[in-house]
Amino acid sequence: MQERAAELLPVEYFHVVFTIPEQLAPLALQNKRVIYGLLFRAASQTLLEIAADQKHLGAVIGFLAVLHTWGQALQHHPHVHCVIPGGGLSADHSRWVSCREGFFLPVKVLSRLFRGKFVAYLRDANEQGRLVFHGRLEYLARTEQFARLLRDVSNTEWVVYSKRPFGGPKRVLKYLARYTHRVAISNQRLVGLANGQVTFKWKDYADGNTVKEMTLSVKEFTRRFLLHILPRGFVRIRHYGFLANRCRRERLECCRNVLHRGTNQVSLQGASNEAENQGDTEDQSCLCPACGQGRLMIVERFQPQGLFHPAVFRDRFVLACSSDSS
């Protein structure tokens, strides 16, 4: 938490979540290393590609991604959380490109590209023989059945969630940090163990985030807990773009420099523009359009009667040129 907070930039941040559909969850359970890796790959490539597109942001972004595989009730629910600054470096790294206030990237565009990439990666993994099918998933070993599964998931909308972090990026980092070194459930949520039953607290998001208690048999509780143990050595926290490990220090320094320089430039430019506008307004509006030398003076003004158009009202002046008494 402390290390990541030290990397935060003085910009707006966004929290983006990519989720695979429930039809693929059983397959992910039997192929954790492969499919969780594809989840990271599809989500990261989607963000980097859309952000680099000039139609959207046109910048090189950087972000932190964390894998979660559980919901509040410990059911299997693979998804990736991304914490992203609201902008990025220009292609030549000479300036900071900010997103619109309160809006990062279009969710529907992210969802469609994420779906297309994940399905393509999953198809390739199957053709390369990297997937296994056991038990009730043995039927997917047949080419036509696997193709049908891909068609089905391609015809559904995939869930991508994006919004500004409530309470700021530090709150999101604190939320994610609670899960980076433990699995699925904290001791604080455990209520009791009695008569072969485990009771724990869970938050029902569908019921206004109400905190409730759930009781499961020891066998079922253990089964749900074991769903979320990752393969040995699997990295659940990954960094991309200008926050990638190989270039993070240099790119962060570059980001801070261009942000600082951009702030000063905006401040100076604003003052300069204001002065220029005032000067232009005074000089241009006061010059006589006939001789181009004398200054115009208002000698009489007609008051408008009722509603009027601004352009008409501007014609209701009597002007005199200082260089021509006539």
**What is the pLDDT averaged over residues 242-265?**
85
In DSSP notation, 240-300 reads EETTSTTTHHHHHHHHHHHHHHHHHHHHHHHHHHHHHHHHHHHHHHHB-TTTSSSBEEEEE
The reply to whether 23 falls in a domain is yes
Cβ-proximal residues to 234 (8 Å cutoff; 6+ apart), any chain: 32, 33, 36
Whether residue 157 sits in one domain with residue 79: yes
Comparing 193 with 298, the larger pLDDT belongs to 193
- pLDDT tens digits, one per residue of 282-304: 444 455 666 655 666 555 555 55
Check whether 310 has a pLDDT greater than 70: no
For residues 230 and 76, give the distance between their C-alpha atoms in angstroms, rounded to a whole number. 12
The reply to whether 274 falls in a domain is no
Q: What is the pLDDT of residue 120?
A: 97
Comparing 37-41, 180-184, 239-243, 249-253, the range with the smallest average pLDDT is 180-184
Check whether 325 has a pLDDT greater than 50: no
Encode 186-252 in three state secondary structure: CHHHEEEEECCEEEEEEEEHHHCCEEEEEEEEHHHHHHHHHCCCCCCCCCCEEEEECCCCCCHHHHH
Using DSSP, state whether 12 is helix, strand or coil.
coil
Q: What is the pLDDT of residue 180?
A: 65
For residues 316 and 103, give the distance between their C-alpha atoms in angstroms, rounded to a whole number. 45
Number of domains the chain is built from: 3
For residues 97 and 259, give the distance between their C-alpha atoms in angstroms, rounded to a whole number. 9
Whether residue 190 sits in one domain with residue 156: no
The reply to whether 269 falls in a domain is no
The reply to whether 271 falls in a domain is no
Q: What is the pLDDT of residue 205?
A: 82
Comparing 177 with 123, the larger pLDDT belongs to 123
Which band of pLDDT confidence, cut at 50, 70 and 90, is reported for residue 320?
A: low
- DSSP assigned state of 129: T
In DSSP notation, 28-46 reads HHHSHHHHHHHHHHHHHHH
Whether residue 86 sits in one domain with residue 154: yes
Whether residue 67 sits in one domain with residue 20: yes
Check whether 175 has a pLDDT greater than 50: yes
Comparing 299 with 72, the larger pLDDT belongs to 72
Q: What is the pLDDT of residue 208?
A: 84
Whether residue 88 sits in one domain with residue 170: yes
The reply to whether 162 falls in a domain is yes
Whether residue 210 sits in one domain with residue 104: no
Whether residue 189 sits in one domain with residue 179: no
Q: Scan for tokens 């002007």, then name that residue.
A: 319
Which band of pLDDT confidence, cut at 50, 70 and 90, is reported for residue 314?
A: very low
Whether residue 297 sits in one domain with residue 160: no
The reply to whether 258 falls in a domain is yes
**What is the pLDDT averaged over residues 264-273?**
46
Whether residue 95 sits in one domain with residue 11: yes
- Provide the total of helices (H) and of strands (E) in the chain, helices listed first: 9, 12
**Which residues form the domain of 11?**
2-184+230-262
- pLDDT tens digits, one per residue of 46-62: 999 999 999 999 999 99
- pLDDT tens digits, one per residue of 102-132: 889 999 999 999 999 999 999 999 999 999 9
**What is the pLDDT averaged over residues 22-28?**
95
The phi, psi pair for 230, rounded to 5°, reads -85, 160
Q: What is the pLDDT of residue 216?
A: 95
Q: What is the pLDDT of residue 74?
A: 87
Strand partners, 62: 241
Whether residue 40 sits in one domain with residue 79: yes
Strand partners, 67: 80
Within 13 Å, how many C-alpha atoms sit on residue 171's CB side? 8
Q: To the nearest whole number, what is the mean pLDDT of the chain?
A: 82
- DSSP assigned state of 24: G
Which band of pLDDT confidence, cut at 50, 70 and 90, is reported for residue 142?
A: very high
Comparing 7-11, 121-125, 232-236, the range with the smallest average pLDDT is 7-11
Whether residue 76 sits in one domain with residue 135: yes
Whether residue 194 sits in one domain with residue 180: no
Check whether 281 has a pLDDT greater than 60: no
Which band of pLDDT confidence, cut at 50, 70 and 90, is reported for residue 183?
A: confident
Which band of pLDDT confidence, cut at 50, 70 and 90, is reported for residue 171?
A: confident
- pLDDT tens digits, one per residue of 158-170: 999 888 876 677 7
Comparing 128 with 204, the larger pLDDT belongs to 128
Question: How far are the Cα atoms of 148, 262, 273 from residue 276, in angstroms, in the given order?
Answer: 65, 20, 5
Check whether 269 has a pLDDT greater than 50: no
Q: What is the pLDDT of residue 65?
A: 94
